[in-house]
Structure 1
Amino acid sequence: MDLLASLRTHRLLGIVRGSDPDAALNTVLTLAEEGVTLIEVSLTGRDALDVIARARAALGPDAALGAGTVLTAADALAAQKAGANFLVTPGISDGIATGREAGLPVLAGVLTPTDVVQALGLGADALKLFPAGSAGGPGYLRDLRGPFPDVPFVPVGGVDAPAVATYLRAGATAVGVGSPLIGDAASGGSLTALRDRARTFLGTVAAEPRP
């Protein structure tokens, strides 16, 4: 898949991390039904590889379904085997190079300018600014875009619905959203509430003009 093109087109990445594999799967499928086209399943969730495999079977071969919290080369290869077609790392890890060698696009986690240079050198397709909220929010993103004006950044961490517009206006290519979007759905919570949140986030993204 063309991860960068998908990030630029859809501008919202849903991040699923749950303690209940069946609930996590239902969360992925519900997000897809509501139009959240880019979905990441964190490997720190219970039975995450199985969730990815079951979601892939349900969504078909072309859905943008990724594995998150990829730390090692083994994580990258296991995620690919389960059916992930892109990888997300929380920082500079062996998963970046291994994922690229395996033909998978990678959204690599960065925080500092040094991280940015290293991740680009390893072949990352886009950069996950994490934890964005703790790092200084949209203002910090603007600062990073000074020396890196053409780098595609995806802020993750503390991105609630009101912050989405602010990050996009600050130059984010897309935003990654976990608990503010997912809530407790991936651990057995309400899917109806999840649908409402998904519509809120999608509406906020759609309301922002494209650069």
Structure 2
Amino acid sequence: MNLTELPYRTMAIVRGTDRDAALRAVLTLAEEGVTATEVSLTTPGALWVIEQARRELGPHVTLGAGTVLTCEDAVRAADAGASFLVTPGLGRDPGHGTWPELPVLMGALTPSEVITATERGALAVKLFPASLGGPGYLKALRDPFPTVPFVPVGGIDTASALAHLAAGAVAVGVGSPLVGDAASGGDLDALRERVARWRTALTEEIAA
């Protein structure tokens, strides 16, 4: 999983209240070119969503499970077809016990947590909540951690996505500003329109 090669340097975060709507949102995102998606395990039927999306989209789509809190969560997500895992914080060492051998984006905020995440073999540090410190905080972290790949998550809209990428993020994770209410039964045409606006803004900036 190469985060720098994600379309639009973006990982969509699907979190909703209806499993069928969440699946439709994942598939619509993929149709519109956002092929890296995290399905939060707080979504009812999230494992079913991952399993069905994997069947529909095939083995090469970057499809992960988010809000992974336990080894049991991780194993079930892997069995459902997740190709990566995302945690909101550090929790138990993923190298211990029955954690599957999948890339993990580990949630961290402080320098000490960043060190722990890298020691545990995180693919990247999910800087969460990114809205707490903003791009300036990421830039400050990049000074002592220049080689750590950071993926800011939490409060990321178009403007903050561009600012965090400019500050050195390898990618950004975005939920409601992109997905909206699509994962809870909202309008899929509105989702397509949001993706189109996001794609235009991010593509122009990355190409600049």
TM-score range normalised by the length of the shorter chain: over 0.9
Counterparts of 1:35-54 in structure 2, within 5 Å, are 35-54=33-52
User: CA-to-partner distance for each residue in 1:70-103, whole Å, 9 max, x for gaps?
Assistant: 0100010000001101000001023733699522
Deviations 1:21-47 (CA, angstroms, capped at 9, x unpaired): 000000000000000021000000111
Q: 1:201 — aligned with what?
A: 198
Decide which of 22, 25, 31 is 1:24's aligned counterpart. 22
Which residue of structure 1 lines up, in the alignment, with residue 150 of structure 2? 153
Counterparts in 2 of 1:98 and 1:60: CA distance versus 1, 3 Å: farther
Match of 2:5 among 3, 6, 9: 9
CA–CA separation in structure 2 for the residues paired with 1:155 and 1:100 = 27
Tell me the TM-score normalised to structure 1 length.
Answer: 0.93
Deviation at 1:63, TM superposition (A): 0.9
* More displaced stretch, 197-206 vs 114-123: 197-206
The counterpart of 1:78, out of the listed 62, 76, 79, is 76
Please name the residue that 1:61 is paired with: 59
- The one-letter code matched in structure 2 to 1:151 is V
What 5-or-longer segments of structure 1 have no aligned partner?
none
Q: Is the 8 A contact 2:11 2:172 kept in 1?
A: yes
Q: TM-score, normalised by structure 2?
A: 0.95
2:169 counterpart SS class? coil
The percentage of aligned residue pairs carrying the same residue is 58
SS in 2 for 1:128: strand
Pick from 155, 163, 166: which aligns with 2:163? 166
Pairs aligned (count): 206
| Cα offsets for 1:87-136 (capped at 9, x unmatched) | 000010237336995220011111000111101111101110000002x1
Q: Deviations over 1:140-166 (max 9, x none)?
A: 000100100111000000001121111
- Whether the 8 Å CA contact 1:86–1:106 is kept in 2: the answer is yes
Q: Distance in 1 between matches of 2:198 and 2:78?
A: 28
SS in 1 for 2:94: helix
SS of the equivalent of 2:189 reads helix
Contact 1:161 1:204 (8 Å CA) reproduced: yes
Secondary structure of 1:87's aligned partner: strand
CA 1:210–1:114: 2 relative to 1, 3 Å? farther
| Counterpart contact for 1:39–1:66, Cα < 8 Å | yes
Q: Which stretches of structure 1, 4 residues or more, deviate above 6 A after TM superposition?
A: none
Unaligned runs of 5+ in 2: none
Contact 1:18 1:46 in 2 (8 A): yes
| Distance in structure 2 (CA, Å) of the matches to 1:78 and 1:95 | 17
